[in-house]
Amino acid sequence: MPFTLRERRLGLRNTMPKLLHLQVACAENRVIGRDGRLPWRIPEDLKFFHDQTAGQIVVLGRICFETWPRVLQDGRRPVVVTRNAALASDQVRVAGLLPGALAIAESLPGEIHICGGERIYAEILALGRPMRLHLTLVHADVPGDTFFPEWRRLAWRELDRRDSADANYRYTFYTLEWVP
């Protein structure tokens, strides 16, 4: 049913799309993956990622879905971008393209967390809509075959930052926001 003029003026039946939360752990050389896996094991970051996405909608590519053992735990609702419709089940929604996945995600309750991989991040950053980037920047150049796009081109506003380290890596948890 179309909005009446009065409803528009009052901002009723608001159809503002949800804020997109991007989740990524990225090396200084923008590497995020190697051979279909994470190129590091950073327990503090893994815990952060699981805590952030618990109970939320996670939009992700097929490889990320297939290689994330806990994706169906902790109340996560995955929306998988894939041509393989057979991946759909009671717990898993699928879409052939990212816009279809975002439309499904908008229709579900909860926050939308974008969990990669490479093409999905690139398409999201090109959308030109408000987003919050939960970035773990690993302070090392790491060999890999999958990359986060050049995010520094956008004028992010830093909301939060926390430095940390383990025996192998130094890293910083950033919360960045971009509003077009």
Ligand X SMILES: NC(=O)c1ccc[n+]([C@@H]2O[C@H](COP(=O)([O-])OP(=O)(O)OC[C@H]3O[C@@H](n4cnc5c(N)ncnc54)[C@H](OP(=O)(O)O)[C@@H]3O)[C@@H](O)[C@H]2O)c1
Interface with ligand X (CB under 6 A): 24-25, 32-33, 36-38, 61-64, 67, 81-84, 97-98, 115-120, 123, 146
CB of 137 to ligand X, least distance (A): 11
| Complete edge-to-edge strand list for the sheet that includes strand 77-81 | 93-95, 77-81, 57-61, 112-114, 20-27, 131-138, 170-178, 157-165
Q: Tell the smallest beta-carbon distance from residue 148 to ligand X (Å).
A: 7
18 or 62, CB closer to ligand X?
A: 62
Between 87 and 154, whose beta carbon lies closer to ligand X? 87
Q: What angle do CA 8, 12, 15 make, to 5 degrees?
A: 90
Cis peptide before 117 (omega within 30 of 0): yes
Least separation in angstroms between CB 173 and ligand X: 12
Which residue number, 7 or 28, has a Cβ lying nearer to ligand X?
28
